[in-house]
Amino acid sequence: MQLKRMFSTDDVKGTRGYLRTQKNYEIIRTVLYFAISLALFITGWVSTGSRENLLTIVAVLGCLPACKSLVEMFMYLRYKGCDERDAALIAAHTQGLTGLYDCVFTSYEKNFCIHHLTVCGNTICGYTADPKFEEQAFNKHIQAILKKDNYRETSVKIFNDLDKYVKRCEQLKELPTQPELTSGICQTLKSVSL
């Protein structure tokens, strides 16, 4: 059952459990890539009696995608998804709203882990459990990305307090829904997160 869950296609970017599933995928992929390179190297060495053969070159070249996968694996291992209790409380207060779970946004200066984002028209609010979250840096980063996709005049607020966040989500339910704008902003946010 756990193995089936590990390779489930239900966990897509923006859904709950995405980071956990992606971590497992990256670990397995990295181990597999290195195992293939090692197997090629050993096969060449055993069959020729020397390290100087064509399979050694193929094994070394195979280390390139393995190392790239290793870097991606470390990126995913650094972040933890939304806590189960927090997710249950968020789900109870965001019914009818468009939300994204487990988003990690990377910039040149800093990475931003947001456990849940709610998008309603041009209003974006989010929750992170990180007490050191730099909201101003995130706002500057995400506003620049949204402007590139022609989403101007967006409001972005990230909360560290879960109670304040769910209260704001309840307020968002009273705003007029703009499905096309909400969907477009969600697509942009998903495209720039891990």
Q: Which residues lie closer than 8 Å to 12 by C-beta, 6 or more apart?
A: 18
In this prediction, residue 179 has a pLDDT band, given cuts at 50, 70 and 90, of: confident
Cα torsion 179, 182, 187, 189 to 10°: value is: -170
In the predicted structure, residue 135 carries a pLDDT above the cut 70: yes
pLDDT in tens, 91-130: 888 888 888 998 888 888 888 989 999 988 888 899 998 8
In the predicted structure, residue 62 carries a pLDDT above the cut 70: yes
In the predicted structure, residue 8 carries a pLDDT above the cut 60: no
In this prediction, residue 11 has a pLDDT band, given cuts at 50, 70 and 90, of: low
Q: Do 81 and 102 touch, CB atoms closer than 8 A?
A: yes
- Cα-based distances in Å from 49 to 23, 41, 59, 81: 38, 11, 16, 48
Q: Do 141 and 113 touch, CB atoms closer than 8 A?
A: no
Can you list the pairs that 7-16 forms with residues at least 24 positions away whose Cβ atoms lie under 8 Å? 13/190, 13/193, 14/100, 14/101, 14/102, 14/103, 14/186, 14/189, 14/190, 14/193, 15/101, 15/102, 16/81, 16/82, 16/87, 16/101, 16/102
**pLDDT for the residue 63:** 94
* Mean pLDDT computed over 52-62: 92
74: tokens are 């470390």
**pLDDT for the residue 172:** 87
What phi-psi label fits residue 96: left (phi over 0), alpha (psi between -120 and 50 degrees) or beta? left
Instruction: Give the sheet arrangement for strand 111-120, strand by strand.
Output: 98-106, 111-120, 123-127, 155-159
Residue with structure tokens 């189960």? 84
**pLDDT for the residue 69:** 94
In the predicted structure, residue 1 carries a pLDDT above the cut 60: no
Mean pLDDT of the chain: 87
Note the pTM of the prediction, 2 decimals. Answer: 0.77
How many CA atoms are closer than 13 Å to the CA of 136, on its beta-carbon side? 0
Domain residue ranges in the chain: 2-77, 84-191
